[in-house]
Amino acid sequence: QSALTQPASVSGSPGQSITISCTGTSSDVGYYKYVSWYQQYPRTAPKLMIYEVSNRPSGVSNRFSGSKSGNTASLTISGLQAEDEADYYCSSYTSSNTVIFGGGTKLTVL
């Protein structure tokens, strides 16, 4: 199964908002609520930022929000900060009882 589709890179200035898209199919993102987002700094373990499309784990800033429309999920980061510069990955449960990740998006804070 092919990876979910994410833009390779996005950028924004401090204080701005950015959105990262994650496009799948009706067999994964479009059908299930099990869409998650992860933040990863170089050479460190991923950190869960959003689960079940729009839920934030305890301790994650409310500047991070998630949504879904059809086969596309989105991660929005508002009030962009330098510390948000990282790689971001989406994931989804699939109808094949598997999990699939997106290819990852590199966020640059200008």
Partner 1 sequence: QVQLVESGGAVVQPGRSLRLSCAASGFTFRTYAMYWVRQAPGKGLEWVAVISYDGSENYYADSVKGRFTISRDNSRNTLYLQMNSLRPEDTAVYSCARDTVTSPYYDYAMDVWGQGTTVTVSS
> Which residues of the shown chain bind partner 1 in the complex (CB under 8 A)?
1, 3, 32, 34, 36, 38, 40, 44-48, 51-52, 57, 87, 89, 91-93, 96-104
Asked whether the beta carbons of 8 and 49 are under 8 A apart, the reply is no
Asked whether the beta carbons of 85 and 79 are under 8 A apart, the reply is no
Question: Judged by CB, which is closer to partner 1: 47, or 63?
Answer: 47
- Tell me the H-state helices in the chain: none
Question: Judged by CB, which is closer to partner 1: 2, or 13?
Answer: 2
Question: Judged by CB, which is closer to partner 1: 1, or 17?
Answer: 1
Distance (Å, whole) CA 36 – CA 97:
16
